[in-house]
Amino acid sequence: MDRIDAMTVFTRIVEARSFTKVANDLGLPRSTVSDATKSLEARLGVSLLHRTTRVVRPTPEGEAYYQRCMSILAEIEEAEETVASTLPKGKLRVDVHGTLARHYLLPGLPKFLERYPEIELHFGEGDRLVDLVREGVDCVIRVGDPVDSDMLGRKLAELEEITCAAPAYLERFGMPESIDDLEGHRMVGFRSSATGSTLPLEFMVDADLRAMTLPSSVTVSGADALAHCARLGLGIIQKPRYSAAEDLETGRLVEVLRGTPPPPSAVSIFYPRGRYISPRVRVFSEWVSRAFKGA
């Protein structure tokens, strides 16, 4: 293994905190990955990694070497991109909530992959926050503002939010005509993955934002579970209009309090701060930005 390949393997180990994961991702024997790191350490005369049975992490010297390797590898990739006529290629790992992907990204995905046939795209789904560096994720598409200072974001769109409930719920608790009528009503609680707290319902009254937390019999941490509980008549929820469209059309959910809607939610794409943005990430980001136009 040459020096550049060894640097690449080392940076992936630092990011994944695992020899086995890197070996699997790169399609190499674990012994090859381990030997490459040992050869680096022997040549440099320092220990680059702390190894335990549970985790691998860089030593102070390893962290410094990792930063230099990242700069060198980025310059190599940029130099090759400047003179090469080939299209961006390689694995691209993206984390995005399933409903966002299905509505905005998947319909246009065949054309993207036709344009960039050598990009291998992997979508991870979830509401949870991810450690972009440790999990080897290139970028994340999320609704809301970043809470991680190590992430850089670019807003793609603002999504219209609505308040809704099931017909069975409204038959039991009544149709609220204003937010003052919400006394005695219930909501399905949504627990934030960022703070661990239950999010209040939010309403724009004229130009003012008013937040209300109603009693809840059930609290969830996933968007799909939130909608399903609302369909069962367990309480009022707020969600993006695009994701509620089918339920509104079929009558499973009914929009309420239209005169005092929730504020719109920003949807953004986030990258690890300080990491070189590869050509495949750049072309994907540009494509995603076009996909969200008109959202």
Note the pLDDT of residue 213. Answer: 94
Query: What digits encode the pLDDT tens for the residues 181-233?
Result: 999 999 999 987 767 789 999 999 988 999 999 999 999 988 889 999 999 99
Question: Which residues does residue 212 pair with via DSSP β-bridges, in sequence order?
Answer: 201
Q: What is the DSSP string of 127-157?
A: SS---TTTTT--EEEEES----TTEEEEEEE
Whole-angstrom distance, CA of residue 238 vs CA of residue 87: 42
Q: How confident is the model at residue 126 (pLDDT cuts 50, 70, 90)?
A: low
- Between 70-74, 193-197, 232-236, 251-255, the lowest mean confidence (pLDDT) is in 193-197
Percent helix, strand and coil across the chain, each to the nearest 5: 40, 25, 35
Q: Contacts for 25-29 with beta carbons within 8 Å, 24 or more apart?
A: 25/91, 25/136
159 — pLDDT class (breaks 50, 70, 90):
very high
Domains in the chain: ranges and CATH: 3-83 (1.10.10.10), 90-159+266-291 (3.40.190.10), 161-263 (3.40.190.10)
pLDDT computed for residue 279 by the predictor? 82
DSSP state of 116: S
Give the mean model confidence (pLDDT) for residues 97-104. 86
Mean pLDDT of the chain, nearest integer: 86
Nearest to 268 by CA among 162, 114, 188, 148: 148
Q: Which amino acid is at 11?
A: T
- Of the given ranges (8-17, 80-89, 164-173, 272-281), which has the lowest mean pLDDT? 80-89
CB 216, CB 76: distance < 8 Å: no
The one-letter code for the residue type at 122 is: H
Under the banding of pLDDT at 50, 70 and 90, the label for residue 169 is very high
Confidence of residue 134 (pLDDT cuts 50, 70, 90): low
pLDDT at 141 over 70: yes
pLDDT above 80 (res 79) = no
> Percent of the chain scored above 90 by pLDDT?
40
